[in-house]
A and B are shown apart, each in its own frame.
Chain A
């Protein structure tokens, strides 16, 4: 049902590369300036989770309007299209059959909101000036419009339906072939996923491949609406099954990557040595560049452009796992080598994905930066930069230390992490995993439909083999104790091994978030002696401050020391 109701979101967007972050979700789309980078991961989690207009707005304003210089929130739910803008240089144009409404975010000290019925096209433009460091990436990029359905990208402008320039047909056509090729691959892989939704992929894919992708695509699916205006069709297309979206997103995404690839190749050579630099860096470009370059080297088998980009991504992710805290030098080493491969394939892809979203920014950005490939920690553990892929798996692999049954754990673990498809293109690899993949993917498409029935907001996969649903307060430590709770909210105590006593008796708490963290899990260091390191997808290691809760994104890894890590996945 949810899928149907969200049909409005089925229409694809197009975007131009730029400094702003854009989170395209099933119900709402949020744009944030580059300065709000810290907020992006949380917002994406919310948006991708199917949150509605009001929930997202609450989250955006949680820390105060004054701290948010600009933003755009667009509801693509049923009913009238709602657009909320804030900030200088932020403008939108909504066209309906009867009217054309122009909105300027600088027109109000707070924000400007409009609600328009029967919108046939919507365009939001963001002044490049606003961006802080921004614009290099955007500036260099040609004014190419990439298509996206759901995902996290960086933009300077978004259009729905996808922007089609009269003359632009040619460039599009050129790209199309690549997209088409990609599309084929995804289709095969994607089939398992598609099953849940329905069989629509092939058609959609083919459509995508076509030169005038967006408009055409929508047209077949759509009926009368399409006929009215080619451009409008996408919006109307919302009625189309949600199924189409994933496929489209993939295909579209891939195309940009492909384009970037050429650039990256050259880059890759140069970069190769560089990898060591900041793996942790969130910079979007880094991941892709790395991915693009590496994929070719490592991933030759796949050969598909889509797959290639994916592999590289893993590298960033690995850093976390491999990454060794000062105190747990011994355990980590074994992990990396041991588990790498088995879990690695699935895990690596997943792990990579998480990182990608953040980094996944437009190709342009990617090419510029390529440091991401190898993290220092990684380097230590891993034999060489080349070994990166192996390392990546390790994150999940943590089990080895526990020694219990890593193998057993691995299968289920499926790192829903794959959910990080935000970027859109990357998601493909995960499909390989049977069980987990569908859920994650569905999440992308339509959050609601996929969600399990339980109240759990996340699942913790502990490296000793334990799996814990976060449906209440979870206290984790060497000998955890719970303080001051009531009989109706008894915390779940999870004891983890700590041979070296590096882990405190009650080390961290993970609980379902409230308020702005609603729907996500939050982690709090309980004043542990040796501290806790958190690695969120696409971000560098972060030392938790005792008593300060931090929202967890699927794919996050919590390192307690003593070789014990906790991977956060979707429930």
Chain B
């Protein structure tokens, strides 16, 4: 069995505008999660906490390569079911229109294979990135109106962050439809570092800025702190949460992140170089 050592850190901040932090995160190797309780929804913090709880259970029970994808999808579906039940309780308690929701992005290391990999799942607009050799690549694809506009060619990707509808999420946990998560795999040996974050981070910081900060801070906890701090400093319009995980032990063959601080970043659009 391949042994993989992980180092990680996390940071979260309510921001400068919101009064409550509805983000939640989990760092229990090999499971890492960020959830963004949906602003505008009721009790978003409860919804995001469901994500953490369900994935904590998953981390506790463990998972294997053969069933990892199904296990992760099942965990997300369990969250949705709990949100449905919670909505029903609140509606029964006198709030007929109660409806909460949350995003979720999870990275689970699948190590019981020859080539360990991250299994990444997302619903909503919280993101996973991978960072290696100074290059930051967005792994997930937002489930957002803006992303759909970009995909459709209606707007340019560069304009997306400033789009007035950038907060509209097209897929999430909560609501009448149980959406399937999108899943991704990222080879562990090539992903020196994984970043999970809520849109309070990537909505406030340019892609290159995130890359630069990750490159400047070899320690994952420091890197997470600095990313969140930068997001707050940039305006802090939303809750900002970052989880940074480094794979150590498999990355020795690769140039160490700290040795390659050129911020030669680029956004990957689908091609695999």
B114 at the A interface (CB under 8 A): yes
Give the chain B neighbours of A481 by CB distance below 8 A. Answer: 117, 184-187, 272
A495 at the B interface (CB under 8 A): yes
- Please measure, in the bound complex, the distance between the C-alpha atom of A487 and the C-alpha atom of B73, giving whole angstroms: 6
Mask for B109-132, Cβ within 8 A of A = 1, else 0?
000001101000000000000000
What's the least CB distance linking A529 to chain B, in Å? 6
Give the chain B neighbours of A526 by CB distance below 8 A. Answer: 271-272
Residues 164-211 of B contacting A (Cβ, < 8 Å): 180-187, 189-190
A527-B272, A527-B273 known; A487 vs B183 contact (CB < 8 Å): yes
Report whether A493 and B115 are in contact in the complex, using a CB–CB cutoff of 8 Å.
Answer: yes
B4 at the A interface (CB under 8 A): no
8 Å CB contact of B271 from A484, A485, A493, A527: A527
What's the least CB distance linking B124 to chain A, in Å? 14
Q: Which residue of A lies closest to B191 (CB)?
A: A481
Mask for A452-479, Cβ within 8 A of B = 1, else 0?
0000000000000000000000000101
- Please measure, in the bound complex, the distance between the C-alpha atom of A529 and the C-alpha atom of B114, giving whole angstroms: 25
Report whether B272 and A484 are in contact in the complex, using a CB–CB cutoff of 8 Å.
Answer: no
Report whether B273 and A493 are in contact in the complex, using a CB–CB cutoff of 8 Å.
Answer: no
Give the chain A neighbours of B190 by CB distance below 8 A. Answer: 479, 505
What's the least CB distance linking B255 to chain A, in Å? 13
- Please measure, in the bound complex, the distance between the C-alpha atom of A505 and the C-alpha atom of B190, giving whole angstroms: 9
Report whether A495 and B115 are in contact in the complex, using a CB–CB cutoff of 8 Å.
Answer: yes
A482 at the B interface (CB under 8 A): yes
User: How many residues does chain B have at the interface if contact means C-beta atoms less than 8 Å apart?
Assistant: 24
What's the least CB distance linking A531 to chain B, in Å? 12
- Please measure, in the bound complex, the distance between the C-alpha atom of A204 and the C-alpha atom of B4, giving whole angstroms: 65
What's the least CB distance linking B226 to chain A, in Å? 27
- Please measure, in the bound complex, the distance between the C-alpha atom of A113 and the C-alpha atom of B180, giving whole angstroms: 46
Give the chain B neighbours of A484 by CB distance below 8 A. Answer: 141, 182-184
A479-B190, A505-B190, A526-B271 known; A493 vs B117 contact (CB < 8 Å): yes
Report whether A482 and B115 are in contact in the complex, using a CB–CB cutoff of 8 Å.
Answer: no
A479-B115, A481-B184, A484-B183 known; A527 vs B73 contact (CB < 8 Å): no
Give the chain A neighbours of B73 by CB distance below 8 A. Answer: 486-487
Q: Which residue of B lies closest to A546 (CB)?
A: B271
Report whether A527 and B270 are in contact in the complex, using a CB–CB cutoff of 8 Å.
Answer: yes
A499 at the B interface (CB under 8 A): no
What's the least CB distance linking B22 to chain A, in Å? 26
- Please measure, in the bound complex, the distance between the C-alpha atom of A495 and the C-alpha atom of B190, giving whole angstroms: 13
Report whether A490 and B183 are in contact in the complex, using a CB–CB cutoff of 8 Å.
Answer: yes
Give the chain B neighbours of A506 by CB distance below 8 A. Answer: 272
Residues 479-532 of A contacting B (Cβ, < 8 Å): 479-488, 490-491, 493, 495, 504-507, 526-529
8 Å CB contact of A495 from B114, B139, B181: B114
Report whether A487 and B272 are in contact in the complex, using a CB–CB cutoff of 8 Å.
Answer: no
Q: Which residue of B lies closest to A480 (CB)?
A: B187
Report whether B70 and A504 are in contact in the complex, using a CB–CB cutoff of 8 Å.
Answer: no
What's the least CB distance linking A467 to chain B, in Å? 15
Give the chain A neighbours of B271 by CB distance below 8 A. Answer: 526-527, 546
What's the least CB distance linking A228 to chain B, in Å? 61
What's the least CB distance linking B75 to chain A, in Å? 10
A527-B270, A527-B272, A528-B272 known; A483 vs B72 contact (CB < 8 Å): no
Give the chain B neighbours of A528 by CB distance below 8 A. Answer: 272
Give the chain A neighbours of B183 by CB distance below 8 A. Answer: 482, 484-487, 490
Report whether B185 and A493 are in contact in the complex, using a CB–CB cutoff of 8 Å.
Answer: yes
- Please measure, in the bound complex, the distance between the C-alpha atom of A480 and the C-alpha atom of B183, giving whole angstroms: 14
Of listed B72, B74, B272, residue having the most chain A CB within 10 A: B272
Report whether A479 and B187 are in contact in the complex, using a CB–CB cutoff of 8 Å.
Answer: yes
- Please measure, in the bound complex, the distance between the C-alpha atom of A376 and the C-alpha atom of B115, giving whole angstroms: 38
Give the chain B neighbours of A479 by CB distance below 8 A. Answer: 115, 187, 189-190
Report whether B272 and A486 are in contact in the complex, using a CB–CB cutoff of 8 Å.
Answer: no
Give the chain B neighbours of A495 by CB distance below 8 A. Answer: 114-115, 187
Q: Which residue of A lies closest to B187 (CB)?
A: A479
Of listed A488, A490, A507, A528, residue having the most chain B CB within 10 A: A490
Report whether B273 and A490 are in contact in the complex, using a CB–CB cutoff of 8 Å.
Answer: no
B69 at the A interface (CB under 8 A): yes
- Please measure, in the bound complex, the distance between the C-alpha atom of A250 and the C-alpha atom of B25, giving whole angstroms: 68
- Please measure, in the bound complex, the distance between the C-alpha atom of A281 and the C-alpha atom of B72, giving whole angstroms: 50
- Please measure, in the bound complex, the distance between the C-alpha atom of A407 and the C-alpha atom of B244, giving whole angstroms: 46
Q: Which residue of B lies closest to A479 (CB)?
A: B187
Report whether A486 and B182 are in contact in the complex, using a CB–CB cutoff of 8 Å.
Answer: yes
Mask for B145-160, Cβ within 8 A of A = 1, else 0?
0000000000000000
- Please measure, in the bound complex, the distance between the C-alpha atom of A528 and the C-alpha atom of B271, giving whole angstroms: 8
- Please measure, in the bound complex, the distance between the C-alpha atom of A485 and the C-alpha atom of B141, giving whole angstroms: 11
- Please measure, in the bound complex, the distance between the C-alpha atom of A527 and the C-alpha atom of B271, giving whole angstroms: 5
Give the chain B neighbours of A477 by CB distance below 8 A. Answer: 272
- Please measure, in the bound complex, the distance between the C-alpha atom of A327 and the C-alpha atom of B61, giving whole angstroms: 47
Report whether B272 and A482 are in contact in the complex, using a CB–CB cutoff of 8 Å.
Answer: no
What's the least CB distance linking A185 to chain B, in Å? 47
- Please measure, in the bound complex, the distance between the C-alpha atom of A505 and the C-alpha atom of B115, giving whole angstroms: 13
Residues 147-173 of A contacting B (Cβ, < 8 Å): none
Residues 250-273 of B contacting A (Cβ, < 8 Å): 270-273
- Please measure, in the bound complex, the distance between the C-alpha atom of A477 and the C-alpha atom of B271, giving whole angstroms: 13
Give the chain B neighbours of A504 by CB distance below 8 A. Answer: 272-273
- Please measure, in the bound complex, the distance between the C-alpha atom of A491 and the C-alpha atom of B182, giving whole angstroms: 13
Report whether B141 and A487 are in contact in the complex, using a CB–CB cutoff of 8 Å.
Answer: no
Give the chain A neighbours of B117 by CB distance below 8 A. Answer: 481, 493
Report whether B273 and A482 are in contact in the complex, using a CB–CB cutoff of 8 Å.
Answer: no
- Please measure, in the bound complex, the distance between the C-alpha atom of A90 and the C-alpha atom of B138, giving whole angstroms: 56
- Please measure, in the bound complex, the distance between the C-alpha atom of A482 and the C-alpha atom of B184, giving whole angstroms: 5
What's the least CB distance linking A412 to chain B, in Å? 21
- Please measure, in the bound complex, the distance between the C-alpha atom of A546 and the C-alpha atom of B269, giving whole angstroms: 13
What's the least CB distance linking A300 to chain B, in Å? 47
- Please measure, in the bound complex, the distance between the C-alpha atom of A480 and the C-alpha atom of B189, giving whole angstroms: 11
A481-B187, A493-B115 known; A529 vs B180 contact (CB < 8 Å): no
- Please measure, in the bound complex, the distance between the C-alpha atom of A490 and the C-alpha atom of B72, giving whole angstroms: 12
Q: Which residue of A lies closest to B189 (CB)?
A: A479
- Please measure, in the bound complex, the distance between the C-alpha atom of A480 and the C-alpha atom of B273, giving whole angstroms: 11
8 Å CB contact of B270 from A483, A485, A487: A483
Q: Which residue of A lies closest to B137 (CB)?
A: A481
Give the chain B neighbours of A486 by CB distance below 8 A. Answer: 73, 180-183
Give the chain B neighbours of A505 by CB distance below 8 A. Answer: 187, 190, 272-273
- Please measure, in the bound complex, the distance between the C-alpha atom of A477 and the C-alpha atom of B117, giving whole angstroms: 14
Q: Which residue of A lies closest to B71 (CB)?
A: A487
What's the least CB distance linking B170 to chain A, in Å? 14
Residues 259-314 of A contacting B (Cβ, < 8 Å): none
Q: List 23 A-B contacts (CB under 8 A).
A: A479-B189, A481-B184, A481-B272, A482-B185, A483-B139, A483-B184, A484-B141, A485-B182, A485-B183, A486-B181, A487-B69, A487-B73, A487-B74, A487-B180, A490-B183, A491-B185, A495-B114, A495-B115, A505-B190, A526-B271, A526-B272, A527-B271, A527-B273
The 4 closest A-B pairs by CB, nearest first: A527-B271, A487-B73, A506-B272, A479-B187
Binding site for A on B (CB under 8 A): 69-70, 72-74, 114-115, 117, 139, 141, 180-187, 189-190, 270-273
Since A481-B187, A526-B272 are in contact, a sample of 17 more A-B pairs with Cβ atoms closer than 8 Å, ordered by chain A residue number, is A479-B190, A480-B185, A481-B186, A481-B272, A482-B183, A482-B184, A482-B185, A483-B184, A484-B184, A487-B70, A487-B73, A487-B180, A495-B115, A504-B272, A526-B271, A527-B272, A527-B273
